[in-house]
Amino acid sequence: MSFQFDVGVLAVQGSFAEHMQILSEINCPAMEVRSQKDLEQVKSLIIPGGESTTIGKLVRRFDLIEPILGRASEGMPIWGTCAGLICLAKDLGPSDPPILGLMDIKVQRNAYGRQIDSFETAIELDSTQGDPFHAVFIRAPIIVSIGPNVEVVATIGQNSIVAVEQDQYLATSFHPELTDDPRFHLRFVSKIKG
C-alpha cells in the first residue's frame, strides 16, 4: 500500500488543528482523518486532546475502531495526547470500558482534581532528550501504572509518569501541540518507516 501522508490527525473532536499546525511547521506531510478512506492514506495517526468519551463515541459512529485496530496490528505508529492517551489505554478503571485498549497502561481520568485541573510545568525527559519540556496539562489523566513492556519517557519530578512509549505507540498526558517546542512531534515522526 502506498500512503500519501506521513501523519494523520484524528479530526473528530479536540485539538486536531493545533497538531496540524505544528506538523506543518516541521514540514511533515499530514492530513486530517475522519473516515476509513482517510486512514488508508496515512502512515501514522495522532489522537489529539479533547474529551475522550466524545472522541470514543465519534470514532465508533464513524466506524473507525476496527480499521484503526487493524492498522495498529500491522505496526502503524499511534500517538495519543491527553484524551488521546485515554483512548489508547487498556485500563480506565472499573466504570469506563477501554476505547482502543492498545497500550498496557492504567489511567485515571481527570485525576488532578478541580483545584489544579489545568496547569503548566517543566517535565523531565529521559536523558537522551535534552532540556526539560514545558508541558501544558488540561484536566489531564494520571498514568497510574504501566506494564512491563512500557517505557517511561517523561515524569513530573521523580515519580509521576506523564509520557510513555510501547512498541510503535507514544502517549502523553499533556499537550505538546499547545506549545511551540516540536520535540515530541519529531520523536513521533521518527517512528514512521518507509
Enzyme catalytic residues: 82, 175, 177
Comparing CB distances to ligand GLN, the nearer of 3 and 119 is 119
- 86 contacts ligand GLN (rule: CB under 6 A): yes
Residues 81/52, Cβ–Cβ less than 8 Å: no
Comparing CB distances to ligand GLN, the nearer of 110 and 160 is 110
Q: Which three cell numbers stand for residue 41?
A: 492514506
Considering only 5, 31, 38, 50, the residue that binds ligand GLN (CB under 6 A) is 50
Q: What is the DSSP letter of 191?
A: T
Cα R_g (the chain), whole angstroms:
15
Tell me the window of 4-12, 18-26, 67-75, 80-88 that interacts with ligand GLN (CB under 6 A): 80-88
- 42 contacts ligand GLN (rule: CB under 6 A): no
Nearest-CA neighbor of 39 among 80, 5, 79? 5
Nearest-CA neighbor of 27 among 185, 192, 169, 179? 185
**What are the residues facing 154 on neighbouring strands?**
125, 163
| Residues 97 to 116 in contact with ligand GLN, rule: CB under 6 A | 109-110
Scanning the chain, the segments in alpha helix (DSSP H) are: 16-25, 36-39, 52-61, 65-73, 83-88, 183-189
- 82 contacts ligand GLN (rule: CB under 6 A): yes
Comparing CB distances to ligand GLN, the nearer of 83 and 171 is 83
- Footprint on this chain of ligand GLN (rule: CB under 6 A): 49-52, 82-83, 86, 109-110, 138-139
